């Protein structure tokens, strides 16, 4: 009996230990589930002194798009109506609109970045609702921590209400001098009347648009040019198409057509000699500047 008891505790304890060790080895590692980040959301909100508005709603955009989702909510339109009344009573005040974008989005607009494009789409809606264009300023800002909800960015736009600074005479005079000293010049391949603008060209386009927007009687000239290859009449038409291409860009950016004078000089005003390929490439251009 003593021997049996000894063997039971010794052998069965070893079996239990082996079983426990085997079970430990055979246990699978359960993966840790990382929680998804919460979608970001910005309100339609602005304030200045005793006046303010704040609603948990806004203009919403799909990734890589500058067109906001429709329809615009009742609460946002209600806020726009109140903002319109405030700005019409306080002409020294203005609304700033900042559009946000992420580095992973594609920008196929005429603006330097998608945030600025979104801000201008919102601005156009506000202006269409009766808010004076001269009392709005637009900006774009990179914000890579934005998270969409169901493939839609919820309100990637913020607002600021305060005194207008860009209407200062000195600032506008400096902007005018800058544009006149370095106009926007677009170069075209032979026979072509459309191009993709570079980031630098888009920035100049923004500056021209801003000046035209802020100065009531301002206007710009858009002149299309060609080299001297081919028929002059055909080149005059081609130069006009190149001018109209740049004009369409300005209109797309919110500039009234009445402020844009688009003409063609065809081959009549070369910037360089037409005797070389390099010179002809410099002559196939459209020049956009302020009058």
Per-residue pLDDT 10s for the chain (291 aa) are: 545 554 454 555 554 544 444 444 556 666 767 677 899 999 999 999 899 999 999 999 999 999 999 999 999 999 999 999 999 999 889 999 999 999 999 998 878 899 999 999 999 899 999 998 888 989 999 999 999 999 999 999 999 998 875 556 788 899 999 999 999 999 999 999 988 888 888 889 889 988 988 888 899 999 999 999 999 999 999 999 999 999 998 887 778 899 999 999 999 999 999 999 999 999 999 999 999
| Same-domain pairing of 54 and 127 | yes
Q: Tell me the C-alpha distance between 220 and 213, whole Å.
A: 11
Query: How many structural domains comprise the chain?
Result: 2
Residue 93 CA neighbour count, 13 Å, CB half: 18
Beta carbons of 59 and 100 less than 8 angstroms apart: no
Q: What is the CATH number of the domain that holds 217?
A: 3.30.1330.60
Those residues whose C-beta lies under 8 Å from the C-beta of residue 83, and which sit 6 or more positions away, are: 46, 53, 95, 126, 131, 161
183 and 261 share a domain? yes
Q: In the chain, what is the straight-line distance between the N-terminal and C-terminal CA atoms, in Å?
A: 117
Whether 18 is covered by a domain: the verdict is no
Q: Say if residue 227 is in the same domain as residue 283.
A: yes
pLDDT at residue number 2: 46
Please check whether residue 208 is in contact with residue 290, taking contact to mean a CB–CB distance below 8 angstroms.
Answer: yes
Which residues are 224's β-sheet partners? 264, 286
**What's the pLDDT score for residue 4?**
52
The full length of the chain comes to 291
Q: Which domain holds residue 282?
A: 169-290
Tell me the DSSP string of 118-135. Answer: HHHHHHHHHHHTT--GGG
Same domain, 151 and 173: no
Whether residues 202 and 262 share a domain: the answer is yes
């Amino acid at each position: 009996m003593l021997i049996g008891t000894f063997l039971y505790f010794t052998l069965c304890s070893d079996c239990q230990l082996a079983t426990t060790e085997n079970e430990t080895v055979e246990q699978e590692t359960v993966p840790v589930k990382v929680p998804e980040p919460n979608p970001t959301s910005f309100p339609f909100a602005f304030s200045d002194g005793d006046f303010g508005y704040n609603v948990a709603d806004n203009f919403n955009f799909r990734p890589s798009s500058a067109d906001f989702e429709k329809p615009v909510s009742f609460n946002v339109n209600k806020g726009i109506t109140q903002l319109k009344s405030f700005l019409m009573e306080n002409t020294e005040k203005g609304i700033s609109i900042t559009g946000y974008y992420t580095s992973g989005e594609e920008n196929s607009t005429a603006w330097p970045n998608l945030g600025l494009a979104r801000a201008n789409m919102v601005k156009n809606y506000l202006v269409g609702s009766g808010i004076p264009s001269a009392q709005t300023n637009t900006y774009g800002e990179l914000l890579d921590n934005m998270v969409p909800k169901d493939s839609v960015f919820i309100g990637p736009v913020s607002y600021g209400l305060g005194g207008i600074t860009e209407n200062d005479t000195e600032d506008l005079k400096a902007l005018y001098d800058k544009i006149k000293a370095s106009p926007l010049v677009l170069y075209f391949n032979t026979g072509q009347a459309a191009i993709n603008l570079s980031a630098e060209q888009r920035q100049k386009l923004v500056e021209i648009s801003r000046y035209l927007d802020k100065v009531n009687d301002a206007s710009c000239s858009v002149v299309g040019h060609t080299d001297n290859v081919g028929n002059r009449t055909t080149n005059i038409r081609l130069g006009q198409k190149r001018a109209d291409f740049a004009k369409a860009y300005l209109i797309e950016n919110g500039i009234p057509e009445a402020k844009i004078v688009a003409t063609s000089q065809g081959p009549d005003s070369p910037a360089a000699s037409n005797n070389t390929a390099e010179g002809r490439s410099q002559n196939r251009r459209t020049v956009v500047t302020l009058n």
